């Protein structure tokens, strides 16, 4: 079977890694299309290198723009690519504008679509990602869901017959990389004590684009009693500058985005994680680190239910939450045992 993957943003490269490996292992042909939504080397190339992902077959180089323009550029460029490669299945990942463009292009050309990480819902319609998820799930022929909760969301929307529970492929990668860095921690570019810092990321539009919210989050982080290593997404720095806010103040130490193995190592050795990222909430859970999520809701509700993650929607309680002790014991198995990609590829193969 010929499978064409459309990726473009950092978390999609992480998901692509185990999928590319399993697609090759199953003997399918795999074409990789990179839309260029994320284009900085630290947001893109290092992931392909570190996670040993084959180089993309097609680079669309769409770059940054408003949602409509960015998605529109992708649509225009994807048509001839899909025509040229004529895949049997287009595989899209997660909830970004690249996911929406890939799915829309394929359905318009009557090519079957498989959506990896289907069924996640925040029920927050102010998030661009929520619209992308819902639209892509309804357009797709195969819905590869990471959790039972995601399956239940799909059932509520009448999509059960297309849905399959396969587990979470980011867990596959995290487990593998965590094992390799466990005894060889990767140094951070700033000096901090092992276990003596908070690791923070902030990039979601609802946080970076609202001056009051962004100011409250930065003030909360700056006032924490231990160093806060903030790996800065380009959106955060650009928006803070435009709003006249200083990112590096108090205990905040700003560093550039980390490659994936360094990020896993940094999380594993931290005292706590503060984030608005989806993937990082799960990584903190898998690595047994308390996470505080600066959002009004999360799609990864299992991390909350099991006591590893708490929401601090207005960043008011970071002082109490960021390095709280965790009294939870027991295995953390909500996202599978690290074999989700193999299950997902088997389901895609069964579409034949
Ligand atoms: C996107 C996804 C989000 C995902 C996130 C992971 C959508 C709607 N959102 O958000 O779901 O969690 O990626 O990071 O698709 N920029 C650079 N260099 C880059 C990439 C971006 O400088 O390599 C800057 C640009 O100024 C751009 C801004 O970051 O305007 C935001 O990029 P964008 O593609 O809009 O999405 P993200 O915020 O990264």
Q: What DSSP letter does each residue of 26-66 carry, written as one string?
A: TT-EEEEEE--SS-SGGGTHHHHHHTTPPPPSEE----S--
Which residues are marked as active site? 203
Per the CB < 8 A criterion, the answer to whether 118 and 95 are in contact is no
* Ligand 1 in reach of 203 Cβ (< 6 A): yes
Per the CB < 8 A criterion, the answer to whether 8 and 98 are in contact is yes
Does residue 124 have a pLDDT over 80?
Answer: yes
Does residue 330 have a pLDDT over 90?
Answer: no
300 vs 120: CA distance, rounded Å:
8
Instruction: With cut-offs at 50, 70 and 90, classify the pLDDT of residue 46.
Output: very high
Does residue 326 have a pLDDT over 90?
Answer: no
SS3 147: coil
Pick the residue whose CA is nearest to atom 14 on ligand 1. Answer: 10
Instruction: With cut-offs at 50, 70 and 90, classify the pLDDT of residue 282.
Output: very high
Once rounded to an integer, what is the mean pLDDT over residues 121-129? 95
Does residue 327 have a pLDDT over 90?
Answer: no
Does residue 48 have a pLDDT over 80?
Answer: yes
Q: Which structure tokens are listed for 248?
A: 């590096």
How far does the centroid of ligand 1 lie from the alpha carbon of residue 349, in Å?
Answer: 31
Which residue among 69, 234, 278 is best mutated to probe the pocket of ligand 1, counting the most ligand atoms within 8 A of its Cβ?
Answer: 234
Sorted by sequence, the CB contacts under 8 Å of residue 102 that are 6+ apart come out as 6, 33, 35, 74, 78, 90, 92, 113
How far does the centroid of ligand 1 lie from the alpha carbon of residue 137, in Å?
Answer: 21
How far does the centroid of ligand 1 lie from the alpha carbon of residue 92, in Å?
Answer: 17
Q: 3-state secondary structure string, 248-296?
A: CCCCEEEECCCCHHHHHHHHHCCCEEEECCHHHHHHHHHHCCCEEECCC
Does residue 352 have a pLDDT over 80?
Answer: no
- The position carrying tokens 């990864």 is 300
Pick the residue whose CA is nearest to atom 19 on ligand 1. Answer: 38
* Ligand 1 in reach of 37 Cβ (< 6 A): yes
Per the CB < 8 A criterion, the answer to whether 252 and 232 are in contact is no
Atom of ligand 1 nearest to the CA of 278: 12
Q: Which structure tokens are listed for 141?
A: 């022929």
* Ligand 1 in reach of 128 Cβ (< 6 A): yes
What is the model's pLDDT at position 328? 77
* Ligand 1 in reach of 234 Cβ (< 6 A): yes
Q: Is the dihedral of CA 46, 50, 51, 54 positive or negative?
A: positive
Task: Using a pLDDT cut of 70, give the percent of the chain over it.
Answer: 100
| pLDDT tens, position by position, 12-42 | 999 999 999 999 999 999 999 999 999 999 9
Pick the residue whose CA is nearest to atom 11 on ligand 1. Answer: 96
What is the model's pLDDT at position 13? 98
Does residue 62 have a pLDDT over 90?
Answer: yes
- The position carrying tokens 């993309």 is 56
How far does the centroid of ligand 1 lie from the alpha carbon of residue 97, in Å?
Answer: 9
123 vs 73: CA distance, rounded Å:
28
What is the model's pLDDT at position 329? 75
* Helix, strand, coil % over all residues of the chain, rounded to 5: 45, 15, 40
Per the CB < 8 A criterion, the answer to whether 288 and 225 are in contact is no
How far does the centroid of ligand 1 lie from the alpha carbon of residue 265, in Å?
Answer: 23
Once rounded to an integer, what is the mean pLDDT over residues 213-226? 97
Per the CB < 8 A criterion, the answer to whether 272 and 294 are in contact is no
* Ligand 1 in reach of 9 Cβ (< 6 A): yes
Phi, psi of 195 (to 5 degrees): 75, 5
How far does the centroid of ligand 1 lie from the alpha carbon of residue 205, in Å?
Answer: 9
Instruction: With cut-offs at 50, 70 and 90, classify the pLDDT of residue 288.
Output: very high
| pLDDT tens, position by position, 73-92 | 999 999 999 999 999 999 99
Which residue among 9, 39, 133 is best mutated to probe the pocket of ligand 1, counting the most ligand atoms within 8 A of its Cβ?
Answer: 9
268 vs 151: CA distance, rounded Å:
30
- The position carrying tokens 């990020």 is 263
Does residue 246 have a pLDDT over 90?
Answer: yes
Distances (CA, A) of 207 to 140, 156, 203, 214, 352: 30, 29, 7, 6, 43
| pLDDT tens, position by position, 154-174 | 999 999 999 999 999 999 999
What is the model's pLDDT at position 320? 96
């Amino acid at each position: 079977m010929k499978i064409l993957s459309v990726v473009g943003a950092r978390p999609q490269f992480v998901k692509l890694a185990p999928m590319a490996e399993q697609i090759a292992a199953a003997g399918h042909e795999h074409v990789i299309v990179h839309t260029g939504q994320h284009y900085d080397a630290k947001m893109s190339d290092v992931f392909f290198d570190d996670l040993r992902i084959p180089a993309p077959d097609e680079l669309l180089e769409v770059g940054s723009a408003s949602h409509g323009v960015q998605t529109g550029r992708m649509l225009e460029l994807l048509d001839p690519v899909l025509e040229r490669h004529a895949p049997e299945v287009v595989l899209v990942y997660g909830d970004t504008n690249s996911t929406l463009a890939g799915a829309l292009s394929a359905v318009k050309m009557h090519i079957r679509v498989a959506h990896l990480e289907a069924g996640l819902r925040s029920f927050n319609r102010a998030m661009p990602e929520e619209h992308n998820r819902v639209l892509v799930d309804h357009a797709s022929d195969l819905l590869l869901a990471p959790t039972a909760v995601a399956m239940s969301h799909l059932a509520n929307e009448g999509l059960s017959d297309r849905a399959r529970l396969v587990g979470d492929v980011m867990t596959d990668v995290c487990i593998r990389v965590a094992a390799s860095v466990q005894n060889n921690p990767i140094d951070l570019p700033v000096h901090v004590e092992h276990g003596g810092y908070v690791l923070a990321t902030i990039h979601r539009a609802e946080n970076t684009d609202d001056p009051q919210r962004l100011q409250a989050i930065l003030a909360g982080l700056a006032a924490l009693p231990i160093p806060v290593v903030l790996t800065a997404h380009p959106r955060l720095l650009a928006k803070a500058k435009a709003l006249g806010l200083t990112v590096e103040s108090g205990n905040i130490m700003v560093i550039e985005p980390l490659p994936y193995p360094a990020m896993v190592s940094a999380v594993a050795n931290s005292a706590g994680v503060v984030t608005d990222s989806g993937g990082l909430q799960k990584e903190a859970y898998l690595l047994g680190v308390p996470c505080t999520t600066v959002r009004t809701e999360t799609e990864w509700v299992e991390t909350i239910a099991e006591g590893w993650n708490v929401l601090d929607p207005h960043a008011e309680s970071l002082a109490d939450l960021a390095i709280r002790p965790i009294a939870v014991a027991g295995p953390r198995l909500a996202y599978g045992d690290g074999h989700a990609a193999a299950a997902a590829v088997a389901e895609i193969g069964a579409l034949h």
